[in-house]
Structure formats: structure tokens, C-alpha cells
Amino acid sequence: MSGMTLTASPELTTAPAAVELDGVIKRFGAVTAVDGISLTIRPGEVVALLGPNGAGKTTTVDMLLGLQRPTEGTVRVYGRAPHEAVELGLVSAVMQTGALLKDYTVEETVRLTAVLFGRSRADAEAALERAGLTEVGKRLVGKCSGGQQQRLRFAMALLPDPELLILDEPTTGMDVAGRHEFWSAIREDTSRGRTVIFATHYLEEADAYADRVVFVRRGRVVADGTASEVKALASGRTVRATLPGAVEAELLAVAGVDKAEVRGETIFLHGRDSDEIARYLLTRTAARDLEITSRNLEDAFLALTADEVSK
């Protein structure tokens, strides 16, 4: 799978990288959550952090925000230690389970955030406006819908006017309309050139909003490229057939096959040219019951993030 790793070519600039992870490892006791991630994100990039649950996305985000310290390696945000970047308002976040106090109103919550960052009341009102919350400003947070609460977190994150905005599973638990509204707000905001990193497991979100996709699996980066590059990874098809006595190594040697799997009498061959593979199977082997399926992003995601055991 190493061949699938695409690295965005680094550009030489004098400005510090928005994010610089260098050999970052994070262990919790015997568990290694992040296992050697090195990643550079340039200012203005919109990056999706994709991976299954437990891949290390949230731990990585926590380290970017100074909520966790790496066991090994270094994390820099705009050239600074993460907690400094947070204090200066260079980086802010909408967290997966970001807490809100139920007995504050929406407006008070944003004003408190403004006070903490030394911003004016006008800034607070502008943030409410941008998050589309002006109408529910007087409402108690506890009485807001999940989508409204998430937009409130977004308003709070916008307040320091951060250079880098981190969104950790920002639309989890939202309905389709809520997700749409949330992303519209984000899209409008990022058009102003903010750097955005969002962790998600909704592939369509990564596809629609990211200009770079980083796949994380078991604490490592397994693929890193533009959305279109990752889509290219997802092209190709799988040919399924019944073939008793097949040997995986022999199937892998077949022209055009880049991945082969044998499960009992059923074989799964993946490759760009499925016609060629099918022709070979039908003419040169005893294979029968052929079925050809296209890979989609979902499959690419599964392929990139699945355990090696199933290969």
C-alpha cells in the first residue's frame, strides 16, 4: 500500500508553515494513538483528515491545539508551540464534543468568548452574524438544536479571527439540512483564505470541501494528496469470480492486477483494467460467476484504512 502515498510537493516560502508535525508519536500507556506522523500544511490549504474511528485523528487535533503533548516529535502551529498559538488566537477549533454551558444564551456565549480574546462587542455580533445565529441570539444554549449549537461553536471559533481553523468531526449527529447549512457557512468563510483542517468520516464532505486529503490509519499517514489525486486512487474496479484452488501470489502476477484476495473459492482481483483481468480469467483459468464492480470513494477509504490482515 506504500505505493499509494502521494505527497504534495512542498513549496519554498519564507512564511512559517501553518502546521508542522515532525515525527509525532503519542502513546497512552501501552496504546500508541499516533505512530510517527510528519505533515506540513501551508497557509490557505483546506485539508481533510480522513480515517476510521481510533485512527488517531482526534489525538492529532488535540496536539495541534495544545490539549495533548506529543510523547515524541514536535508540533508547531504558525511557527509557535500549539498552546501559544491558541492563546494568541492563531488557531481555533470546533470540537467534536465541544462543550457549551446550557444556561448561557447564544449571544452571551459568544460575548464571553469575545471578552476572553479581548475582542469588542461588535466582533461578537459579527461572529453571530457570520454563523447565522443573530435570530436565536437570546435563546438559551440548552434550548438550541444540535445544528444551532454546532454553529455556535463555529461562531466562537471565528471570534479570534484565526489563521487556522480546525474542525473535528464537525457535522456528526447533524441531519442533512444541518450539515448543508454548516458547510455553507464554512465555505463562505474559507473563501477569505483561512487555513482549515477538518477531521471527518463523511467522504462526500472531504470530496466537496478539501483541496487536500490526508488519510490516517492506525496513527500513520497512509495517503496524502489532492482530492482529485485521491479520487484517482479510487478509480479501478474489482473483479469477483469463483475459482477453486486459487493462489494469491499467482493471481497477483496476472497482468493488470494490483491487488488480489482469496476467500475460500471466491477470488477478488482489483485493477485499473478490469476488462483485461476478466478476459484472462475466462480464457486462461476455470473461473466462473464473474462480477465486476467499480470502486467508489467508500471503497478507497476502506482499502486505504483497512487492516493489513484482510489483504
Q: For the CB of residue 164, give the shortest distance to other proteins in the complex, in Å.
A: 10
End-to-end C-alpha distance for the chain, whole angstroms: 10
Q: For the CB of residue 19, give the shortest distance to other proteins in the complex, in Å.
A: 13
The verdict on 99 binding other proteins (CB under 8 A) reads: yes
The verdict on 102 binding other proteins (CB under 8 A) reads: yes
The verdict on 111 binding other proteins (CB under 8 A) reads: yes
DSSP code string of 182-246: HHHHHHHHHTT--EEEEEES-HHHHHHH-SEEEEEETTEEEEEE-HHHHHHHH-SEEEEEE-TT-
Tell me the three cell numbers of residue 90.
Answer: 492563531
Q: For the CB of residue 15, give the shortest distance to other proteins in the complex, in Å.
A: 8
Instruction: Mark the segment that binds other proteins (CB under 8 A) among 106-114, 168-176, 192-200, 293-301.
Output: 106-114
Whose grid coordinates read 484452488?
245
The verdict on 282 binding other proteins (CB under 8 A) reads: no
Q: Please list the residues that pair with 22 across neighbouring strands.
A: 74
Which CB atom, from 1 or from 101, has the smaller least distance to other proteins?
Answer: 101
Element (H, E) at 135: none
Site string for other proteins, 71-90 (x = CB under 8 A): -------x-------xxxxx
Whether the CB-CB separation of 5 and 222 falls below 8 Å is answered with yes
- For other proteins, the binding residues (CB under 8 A) are 16, 65-68, 78, 86-90, 92-93, 95, 97-104, 108, 111-113, 115-118, 156, 161, 163
